[in-house]
């Protein structure tokens, strides 16, 4: 199965578009993990096991592991997700973008070392920087399009022949890169109008949507703007609001409750 | 000292604008290293020690290490460069680009874990994705502008208000991001006309210039187009043509000879 099939299966099976982002900030880990040499791994696996039936995807953010020499912990977390929760899509958030031979090294890291189904990539270097990822059969990419951060407009909103750069990126991915392999786009929930424009351009292409929760994106507006023709089509990410729902002994239960509440909010928005 | 001062010192001390890129392709390591469990480290340190007096900078490409679980080897290589060759600038080629809190994690990885002076970053996410790097005093970034690969024109050449996107990036980095911290730009040697245009826009800002050697960029055209008002101003990278000058016992000597020849070619071009 390719990425698109995996996602469709995950959406229908879980009836959820929620993705839990695994961004383990060592300064915010729950107090019961103090002194645990594998605290990052323990924390992430507890969150994963507490929320796996509520989500369509998990999205580890690689910087939070690499900044702390925790690659081995990330490998074990990814292995755990693939073994124990085989129907949940694993997206490695690494925002890669490099020339062809280097991109192939990054693809091996994402797909072989960590076993990710998909990886996030940056479009700035063009087609040959993304092709090596797409040549790995059964995998796919989410291409940065309109990101959720305050400065995302600096370049993404520049006018290119009458439309903003991010729409130009969306069009190119939909018409050209999708011919090479399974692509999706990253569009922030903090910009629902742009999310709607992207959806209009790309048909039913999957969208990875960060920015709800701590970043302030509105769930109702996001679902109304971004759902595909089947009522799914999005991987809606929340990280901090779920990971740090409690800093005490009940962190896993609190994360589960926060994930269920967010999933239900997304479901309710879709039923409107 | 900040990145700009470090570079000026390195250029004058070595009288060289050559940078050796450390992209250790495990399929191409010299035969004497067969079976060595730390072959990547041994190879890179031998190359570093054989060429350190001939270069202004070393540029490890992180993907070649992370694809092979060789982070610890990269740490030791970087530590070796900083300890044994303290006047050589260490640029981590990682092409980072992410939202603020994640960018801070990447900055810690580059500057604390690996001890790099500078890191390459992607501009697509805008100002707040680069700021965390620039807030690390004494360090700096090289922002991707016009890259050396065939597909770099897909987006970088798009017309934005009468000039290509890459020039817009160059201008923004020169006028705004340089107010926050020490910036340089990445401009490929494979496009000398664009290199000249960028130099005209950014004054004496340092340029990291990949693309000579295996990628086919012309040294004379590069130096003529890209040198600053002092006759320096560039970090001209060659990786494969130096690393794999020989696959036999003499790989370090062959790399040194290739590095000297390239440095001399750059010097001669500058004297014209």
Q: What is the pLDDT of residue B95?
A: 98
Would an 8 Å CB–CB cutoff place A158 in contact with chain B? yes
Round the average pLDDT of chain A to a whole number and report it: 96
- The confidence score (pLDDT) of residue A50 equals 98
Q: What is the spatial distance between Cα A45 and Cα B140, in angstroms, rounded to a whole number? A: 36
A139 CA: distance to closest CA in chain B (Å): 17
pLDDT at residue B272 greater than cutoff 80? no
CB nearest A154 (choices: B108, B126, B150): B126
Shortest CB distance from B129 goes to which of A25, A64, A151? A151
User: What per-residue confidence (pLDDT) applies to B20?
Assistant: 98
How many Å apart are CA B100 and CA A222, to the nearest integer? 22
The pLDDT of residue A204 is 97
What pLDDT sits at residue A268?
96
When computed from its CA atoms, the radius of gyration of chain A, rounded to whole angstroms, is 18
User: What is the structure's pLDDT at B99?
Assistant: 95
pLDDT tens figures, B211-253: 897 778 899 999 999 999 999 999 999 999 999 999 999 999 9
Average confidence (pLDDT) over B67-88: 98
Q: Which of residues 14-53 of B touch A (CB under 8 A)?
A: 23, 25
Mean pLDDT of A227-252: 96
* Confidence (pLDDT) at B157: 97
Of the residues B24, B63, B96, B164, the best mutation for testing chain A's interface (the one with the most A CB atoms within 10 Å of its CB) is B63
Instruction: Give residue-wise pLDDT tens across range A259-268.
Output: 999 999 999 9
- What integer pLDDT is reported at residue B271 of this predicted model? 84
Interface predicted TM-score of the whole assembly (ipTM), two decimals: 0.96
User: How large is the average pLDDT for residues A193-204?
Assistant: 97
User: Looking at per-residue confidence, does B140 or A216 come out higher?
Assistant: B140
Q: Tell me what the mean pLDDT of segment A149-176 comes to.
A: 97
pLDDT at B205 over 80: yes
- For residue B202, the number of C-alpha atoms closer than 13 Å in the C-beta half-sphere is 37
- Report pLDDT digits (tens) over B112-128: 999 999 999 999 999 99
Distance of CA A29 to the CA centre of its chain: 21
Q: Judge whether residue A65 has pLDDT over 80.
A: yes
Could you tell me if residue A89 is left (phi over 0), alpha (psi between -120 and 50 degrees) or otherwise beta?
A: beta
Note if B59 is an active site residue: no
pTM: 0.97
Is residue A215 pLDDT above 80, yes or no? no
Residue of B nearest to A65 (CA): B105
Q: Determine the average pLDDT of the residues in A87-97.
A: 98
Q: How far is the C-alpha of A192 from the C-alpha of A218, rounded, in Å?
A: 8
Is the pLDDT at A4 greater than 90? The verdict is yes
Mean pLDDT to the nearest integer, B186-215: 94
Query: Which pLDDT score, from 0 to 100, does residue A1 have?
Result: 85
Convert the pLDDT of each residue in A103-133 to its tens digit: 999 999 999 999 999 999 999 999 999 999 9
As a whole-number percent, the residues of chain A with pLDDT over 90 amount to: 96
Please report, for the domain that includes residue A77, its CATH number. 3.20.20.70
Q: In B, which residues are within 8 Å of A126 by CB distance?
A: 147, 149-156
For A179-197, write each residue's pLDDT tens digit: 999 999 999 999 999 999 9
Structural domain of A147:
3-271
CA pair distance B270, B272, nearest whole angstrom: 5
Residues with Cβ within 8 Å of residue B185, at least 6 apart in sequence: B142, B143, B144, B145, B169, B170, B173, B198, B202, B205, B206, B207, B208
Using alpha carbons only, how large is chain B's radius of gyration in Å? 18
pLDDT at A46 over 90: yes
Min Cα separation A230/chain B (Å)? 30
Identify the residue with better confidence: B215 or B135: B135
Strands (E), chain A: 18-22, 57-60, 89-96, 118-121, 140-146, 159-160, 163-164, 182-187, 207-209, 234-238
The percent of residues in chain B predicted with pLDDT above 70, rounded, is 100
pLDDT single digits (tens) A68-80: 999 999 999 999 9
Which of these is catalytic: B68, B76, B80, B95?
B95
How much is the pLDDT for A272? 75
Contacting residues of B for A98, CB less than 8 Å apart: 61, 63, 95
Do B10 and B88 form a contact (C-beta atoms < 8 A)? Answer: yes
* C-alpha distance from A63 to closest chain B C-alpha (Å): 6
Distance CA A141, CA A144 (A): 9
pLDDT band of residue A89 (cuts 50, 70, 90) is very high
Q: What confidence tier does A138 reach under pLDDT thresholds 50, 70, 90?
A: very high
Is the per-residue pLDDT at B64 higher than 80? yes
How far, in Å, are B44, B116, B208, B246 from residue B59 at the CA level? 11, 9, 10, 20
Give the total number of structural domains in chain B.
1
pLDDT in tens, B149-194: 999 999 999 999 999 999 999 999 999 999 999 999 999 999 999 9
As a whole number, the mean pLDDT across chain B is 96
- Count the neighbouring beta carbons within 10 Å of the beta carbon of residue A266: 23
Q: How far apart are CA B44 and CA B80, in angstroms?
A: 10
């Amino acid at each position: 199965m390719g990425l698109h099939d995996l996602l469709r299966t995950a959406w229908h099976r879980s009836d959820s578009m929620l993705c839990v982002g695994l961004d383990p900030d060592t300064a915010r880990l729950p107090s019961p993990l103090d002194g645990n040499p594998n605290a990052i791994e323990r924390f992430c696996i507890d969150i994963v096991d507490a929320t796996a039936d509520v989500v369509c995807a998990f999205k580890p953010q690689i910087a939070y592991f690499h900044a702390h020499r925790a690659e081995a912990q990330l490998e074990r977390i990814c292995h755990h997700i693939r073994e124990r929760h085989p129907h949940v899509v694993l997206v490695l958030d690494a925002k890669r973008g490099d020339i062809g031979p280097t991109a192939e090294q990054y693809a091996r890291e994402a797909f072989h070392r960590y076993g990710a189904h998909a990886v996030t990539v940056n479009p700035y270097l063009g087609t040959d920087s993304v092709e090596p990822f797409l040549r790995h059969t059964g995998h796919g990419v989410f291409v940065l399009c309109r990101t959720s951060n305050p400065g995302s407009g600096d370049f993404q909103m520049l006018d290119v022949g009458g439309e903003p750069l991010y729409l130009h990126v969306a069009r190119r991915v939909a018409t050209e890169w999708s011919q090479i392999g399974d692509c999706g786009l990253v569009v922030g929930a903090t910009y629902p109008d742009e999310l709607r424009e992207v959806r209009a351009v790309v048909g039913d292409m999957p969208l990875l949507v960060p920015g709800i929760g701590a970043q302030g994106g509105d769930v109702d507006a996001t679902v109304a703007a971004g759902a595909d023709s089947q009522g799914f089509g999005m991987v809606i990410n929340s990280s901090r609001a779920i990971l740090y729902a409690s800093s005490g002994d009940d962190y896993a239960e609190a994360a589960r409750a926060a994930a269920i509440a967010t999933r239900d909010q997304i479901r309710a928005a879709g039923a409107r």
